[in-house]
């Protein structure tokens, strides 16, 4: 039986499988119909999506360019080489590996390259803004390695660098890790580097959240300071859902071997091609302008929410996200997420430092500006969005048919209609 469609021909897909075709259209309608404020999401370009839907998906290519375990890799070798070269140039890095399937896969490779089971890593506490793969007990990282956690200062709510230094001297970790999933402020990479050198540790930065701002030259880069930097390609970077690594030349062989054959088999060549497209996009002046606007929008959104009693932790943000304490308005993170969603606003509940609530309830929300900035919104729209969030979570009840939810959703519809995701035509 021959397949009735090729590549990304939607009409043929709809004819062959209307169920899945319907889901694709429904998701597009969802993106177009609401405010997407998840800090870890963005809207990839049609060029990136075209590469993802290409025939490169068919090719098995275990190994690296010029050193494959399969024949017929001449074309995918070109795609991966282009992606590697563009990644190195974009981040001014000695070496790049573009094969990790995800951020978690990239992180797993770092452990494989530099650590043995039972060795110690010093990383940020998950409740204070870290990540599951940074040593939490429910993750492979916490099951296989000894994780010591630092946190934030109770007054500033920013990283407690004195604690980092004290814990490093006490525990002598093999690796010191900076980065996380809910850190609004810039990280002092130079301070971390000095601490790592004092104890002879590898310095690793997980830049998954903010690497796009680095690519756009909107914030300082960790690359000159870190031994290795892991990141995802789908957040501010605006590429496909995947991961990548850059490192100093001295670590190149160890890191490549940890990605393949230690942690992964065949790479996803269509995704690697999409990364190559994305890296080219990120090297443009237009992207640099975008990255700066992402920060300006996040800062305005944080300020405007704060003026309404939805307090930004650390007093604001230097990046694409802000973390907000809802205790002052007597709403939980879980309730806020539900009420916002009912009104067409997508954000997520999030623990705040020293949170009295359980993680599945949380006392905070995390909001991000990447997607709405991609849609063309600016600081004036952020002020309006803050008004809509406040009204939805303080006056709504989570029922989409509630009068407040309907009122807010109508204003959301008007706003996204003026700044559509994936404009038609």
Q: Which of 191, 241, 257, 292 is catalytic?
A: 241
Q: Which of 120, 133, 232, 313 is catalytic?
A: 232
Burial of 159 (0-12, 13-18, 19+ CB in 10 A): buried
- Give the pair of three-digit tokens for residue 153: 């200062």
The set of residues, in sequence order, having a beta carbon less than 8 Å from that of 383 and lying 6+ positions away, is: 300, 304
Q: Which of 62, 94, 119, 163 is catalytic?
A: 62
Largest CA distance in the chain: 67
Q: Which of 14, 60, 383, 407 is catalytic?
A: 60
71 Rama class: left (phi>0) / alpha (psi -120 to 50) / beta: beta
Outline where 92-149 has alpha helix (H): 103-114, 140-144
Q: Which of 86, 235, 311, 339 is catalytic?
A: 235
- Give the pair of three-digit tokens for residue 404: 């407040």
Q: Look up 250 and say whether it is catalytic.
A: no
Q: Look up 62 and say whether it is catalytic.
A: yes
Instruction: Report the distance separating Cα 132 and Cα 139, nearest Å.
Output: 6
Contact 42, 216 (CB under 8 A): no
Instruction: Give the three-state DSSP class for 7.
Output: coil
Binding residues for (6S)-5,6,7,8-tetrahydrofolate: 126, 130-132, 249
Binding residues: 126, 130-132, 249
Burial of 180 (0-12, 13-18, 19+ CB in 10 A): buried
CA 44 to chain centroid, in Å, comes to 13
CA 178 to chain centroid, in Å, comes to 15
Q: Look up 308 and say whether it is catalytic.
A: no
Q: Look up 413 and say whether it is catalytic.
A: no
92 Rama class: left (phi>0) / alpha (psi -120 to 50) / beta: left
Instruction: Report the distance separating Cα 356 and Cα 406, nearest Å.
Output: 32
Q: Which residues are catalytic?
A: 60, 62, 206, 232, 235, 241
């Amino acid at each position: 039986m021959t397949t009735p469609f090729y590549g990304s021909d939607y009409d043929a897909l709809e004819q062959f499988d209307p169920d899945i075709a319907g889901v694709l259209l429904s998701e597009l309608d969802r993106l177009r119909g609401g405010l997407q404020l998840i800090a870890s999401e963005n809207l990839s370009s049609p060029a990136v999506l075209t590469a993802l839907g290409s025939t490169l998906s068919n090719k098995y290519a275990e190994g690296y360019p010029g050193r494959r375990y399969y024949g017929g890799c001449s074309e995918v070798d070109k795609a991966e080489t282009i992606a590697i070269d563009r990644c190195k140039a974009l981040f001014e890095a000695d070496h790049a590996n573009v094969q990790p399937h995800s951020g978690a896969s990239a992180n797993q490779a770092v452990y494989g390259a530099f650590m043995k089971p039972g060795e110690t890593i010093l990383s940020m506490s998950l409740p204070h803004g870290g990540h599951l793969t940074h040593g939490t007990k429910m993750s492979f990282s916490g099951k296989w390695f000894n994780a010591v956690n630092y946190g934030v200062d109770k007054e500033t709510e920013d990283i407690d660098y004195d604690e980092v230094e004290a814990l490093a001297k006490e525990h002598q970790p093999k690796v010191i890790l900076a980065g996380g999933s809910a850190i609004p402020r810039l990280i002092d990479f130079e301070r971390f580097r000095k601490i790592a050198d004092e104890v002879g540790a590898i310095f690793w930065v997980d830049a998954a959240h903010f690497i796009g701002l680095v690519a756009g030259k909107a914030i300082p880069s960790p690359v000159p300071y870190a031994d290795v930097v892991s990141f995802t390609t789908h957040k501010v970077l605006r590429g496909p859902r995947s991961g990548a690594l850059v490192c100093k030349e001295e670590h190149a062989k160890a890191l490549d071997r940890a990605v393949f054959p230690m942690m992964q088999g065949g790479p996803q060549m269509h995704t690697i091609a999409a990364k190559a497209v994305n890296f080219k996009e990120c090297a443009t002046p237009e992207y640099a302008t975008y990255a700066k606007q992402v920060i300006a929008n996040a800062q305005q959104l944080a300020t405007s929410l704060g003026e309404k009693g939805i307090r930004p932790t650390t007093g604001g943000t230097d990046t694409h996200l802000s973390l907000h304490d809802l205790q002052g308005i007597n709403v939980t993170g879980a309730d806020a997420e539900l009420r916002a969603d009912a009104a067409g606003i997508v954000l997520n509940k999030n623990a705040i430092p020293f949170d009295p609530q359980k993680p599945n309830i949380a006392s905070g929300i995390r909001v991000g500006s990447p997607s709405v900035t991609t849609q063309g919104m600016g600081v004036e729209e952020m002020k309006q969005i803050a008004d809509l969030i406040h009204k939805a979570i303080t006056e709504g009840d989570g029922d989409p048919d509630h009068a407040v939810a309907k009122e807010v959703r109508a204003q959301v519809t008007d706003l996204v209609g003026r700044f559509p995701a994936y404009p038609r035509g």
